[in-house]
Amino acid sequence: MSLPHAILTALLEKPSSGLELTRRFDRSIGYFWSATHQQIYRELGRLEADGLIRTLPAEQPARGQKKSYEVLPAGRAELARWTAASQDPKPLRDVLLLRLRAAAVVGTAGLDSDLRRHLDLHRRQLAEYEAIERRDFPPDRDSPEDRLRHLVLRAGIDLETFWTQWLTHALKEFAELSAAEG
């Protein structure tokens, strides 16, 4: 149950319409909590029904017509409560690792091209994060908010770094294994 809180966070940073939120979920917030526009609209409806957000008064609501939302005090309170509440980390769930484990049983045929593709994707993502870091977090800016956001970005950078290194290592192992077979 995190999507509503992701939306509340995004709306507190800046009141937005569904489409604007969707765009922002494709960049910043979506880097660690992705959501489709369908999810977002559905959730906006629920949040409004629950009295946590409201449409900005300026516009009349109609289908196909831009409608912006802002967070109500109850929404901010709920987000603060959720943020502070203890939550267990979710166990890792990764298809690629599963495929490797399966490959130990049924063979590695055809796997390494996809490994290479993943390596490429992770390298791109890493480059994107690093560009954001250079752009948004120059050494001088360090308000508390900036430091927290930088910390989150840092996690993204380190995770992508891990994947690129691990995939590089995996590909090397693959090369050695197939060389050994002949």
Partner DNA sequence: ACGTGTTTTGCAACTAGTTGCATAAACTCT
Partner DNA sequence: AGAGTTTATGCAACTAGTTGCAAAACACGT
19/32 with CB nearer a copy of itself:
32
Q: Is 39 in the site for a copy of itself (CB under 8 A)?
A: no
Structural contact between residues 167 and 119, judged by C-beta atoms closer than 8 angstroms = yes
3-state class of 71 per DSSP?
strand
Can you tell me which residue has the tokens 């989150």?
152
Q: Is 96 in the site for DNA (CB under 7 A)?
A: no
Assign residue 51 a region (left: φ > 0; alpha: ψ between -120 and 50; beta: otherwise): left
Stretch 30-59 residues interacting with DNA (CB under 7 A): 34-39, 41-42, 44-45
Structural contact between residues 163 and 122, judged by C-beta atoms closer than 8 angstroms = yes
Among a copy of itself, DNA, none, what does residue 113 contact (CB within 5–8 Å per kind)? Answer: a copy of itself
Among a copy of itself, DNA, none, what does residue 87 contact (CB within 5–8 Å per kind)? Answer: a copy of itself
Distance CA 24, CA 29 (A): 7
Q: Is 81 in the site for DNA (CB under 7 A)?
A: no
Binding site for DNA (CB under 7 A): 1-3, 17-20, 22, 34-39, 41-42, 44-45, 61-68, 93
